């Protein structure tokens, strides 16, 4: 797929002039991107991410080191800017669940007039709409009570045993193998 064209300097200047009144002095990039997301996405849709990077550089919005934006870096910053912030995520997690709205009842059949013969009225709809009843959910700890732990101590219950003669000889052989005396 061919990349989008990079607009000439006069078009970049026109985009910059359109965005210049929206820039607040000393503002960082993410609040700016968050606040002007729709306008900036229009520029990207019309042109490209590289064009937006050039426009922001023209506005003087660069890294603190003065390095200009690239298509990749501005796309990453836009993604981070529009992601829900920590406070918003926490509010979504703690928001109470709203109960479901009641389902609408089935549409009633339109009354019809019999031509000449009277037909007996129907006893009702053939199918009834389902009704949702609240189901009590079991408490998560009701089925699995809290585990009970035994007391634990690091105190040794018996003193360590002295090594046997065979174990002492094995240790000496290993030491001689790995640490030969000079």
Other CB atoms within a 10 A radius of the CB of residue 168 amount to 11
| pLDDT per residue of the chain (182 residues) written in tens, 0 to 9 | 456 777 788 888 888 888 888 887 777 788 888 888 888 888 888 888 888 888 888 888 777 777 888 888 888 888 888 887 777 766 666 666 555 555 555 555 555 555 455 555 566 667 666 776 776 666 655 566 666 777 777 776 777 789 999 999 999 999 998 888 75
- Could you give the C-alpha distances from 166 to 61, 159, 162, 174, 180, in angstroms and in order? 77, 20, 12, 12, 20
pLDDT at 170: 95
| pLDDT of 166 | 95
Cα 73 to Cα 175: distance, rounded to the nearest angstrom: 59
Q: What's the pLDDT score for residue 100?
A: 56
Residue whose pair of structure tokens reads 């406070």 in the numeric block: 87
């Amino acid at each position: 797929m061919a990349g989008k064209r990079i607009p000439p300097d006069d078009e970049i200047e026109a985009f910059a002039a359109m965005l210049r009144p929206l820039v607040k002095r000393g503002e960082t990039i993410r609040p700016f991107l968050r606040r002007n997301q729709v306008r900036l996405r229009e520029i990207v849709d019309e042109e490209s991410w590289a064009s937006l990077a050039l426009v922001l550089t023209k506005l003087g919005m660069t890294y603190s080191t003065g390095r200009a934006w690239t298509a990749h870096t501005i796309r990453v910053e836009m993604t981070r800017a529009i992601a829900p912030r920590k406070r918003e995520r926490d509010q979504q997690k703690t928001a109470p669940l709203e109960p479901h709205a009641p389902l609408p009842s089935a549409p009633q059949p339109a009354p019809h007039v019999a031509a000449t013969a009277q037909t007996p009225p129907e006893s009702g709809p053939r199918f009834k709409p389902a009704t949702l009843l609240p189901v009590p959910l079991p408490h998560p700890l009701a089925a699995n009570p809290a585990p009970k732990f035994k007391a634990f101590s690091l105190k040794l219950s018996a003193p360590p045993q002295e090594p046997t003669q065979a174990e002492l000889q094995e240790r000496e052989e290993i030491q001689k193998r790995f640490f030969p005396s000079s």
